[in-house]
A = this chain, B = another copy of it.
Amino acid sequence: MKLANTKQLILSTALDLFSQYGYNGASIRQIARTVGIRESAIYNHYKSKEEIFLAILAEFKSKTISEKILNDDLLDDLSNPEKFLRNFAERLITFWNTPQERKFIRLLLMEQFTRIGNKELSTTDYLSELRKMCRLIFSEMIKTKIVKQYDPEILAEQFIAPLFLMRTEYLVSGENKNMGTVIKIVNMHVDFFWSAIKG
C-alpha cells in the first residue's frame, strides 16, 4: 500500500519529532500519525521506541564528515591558507545547517545527558573527527611555516569552538533565515583567527 519505504519514513519522522520535542516529548502515536499509520504498525518495523532512537544514532554514526566538506578543489587551496580557512569554515557551517544535521545536533544537545542518550551521544564524539581533521591541517601549516608554532590541538579548539557555539545558538530559530549574516560573522572569525596565527 505504501509506496515509500515505511521503515525509513519512520526513522526520519522520529528524528524530526525527537529533535523538536525531545525523546520523551514525542510519542509513538505522534510518530505514527505523522507517518500516516497506526501506532501498532510501527512495531512491524522496530521492536521498541528505544530501537528507533538507536537506529537514528547508528545512521548518523556511519556518516563521515570529511567527505562532506573536504574535497580536492578545497585542498588545492592549501597554498592560499587564508582562502582555504574561509572556505573550510563556510563549508562547515553550511554542512551544519543541513536540515538533517540541524536536527541531529539538536537531538545531541537535548539528549546527551539523559538516560537514553548518555551512552551513545556526546558532543566530544560528534566533534572528534572534525577536531582530528583540523589538527592535521594546522600541523601541516605549522610544518610549512605559514603558521606560527602553536599547539595544533589548541588551534583546532580555537578554530572550531566559536563556530560550533554559533551553530548551537542559531539552532533555536526556525529555519536558515539569516544564513547570510551568519556567514559574514564566520568570515570575521576566520579573519581574526588567521591574523592571529599566520607566521
A residues neighboring B (CB under 8 Å): 19-22, 24-25, 106, 109-115, 118, 122-124, 150-151, 154-155, 157-158, 160-162, 164-165, 168-169, 171-172, 188-189, 192-193, 196-197
Contact = CB atoms under 8 A, between A and B. Distances in A.
Majority DSSP secondary structure for residues of A touching B: helix
Number of copies: 2
Given A21-B115, A115-B25, A162 B169 contact: no
Given A19-B113, A150-B192, A158-B193, 17 more contacts: A21-B114, A22-B24, A24-B24, A106-B113, A110-B110, A110-B113, A113-B171, A122-B172, A151-B192, A154-B192, A155-B192, A158-B189, A158-B192, A161-B161, A161-B162, A164-B165, A196-B196
A162 B193 CA distance: 13
A1 to B, nearest CB: 33
A108 B115 CA distance: 17
Nearest 9 A/B pairs, CB to CB = A196-B196, A24-B24, A161-B162, A161-B161, A161-B165, A24-B25, A154-B192, A109-B109, A123-B169
Contacts of A172: 112-113, 118, 122-123
A164 B169 CA distance: 12
Nearest to A151: B188
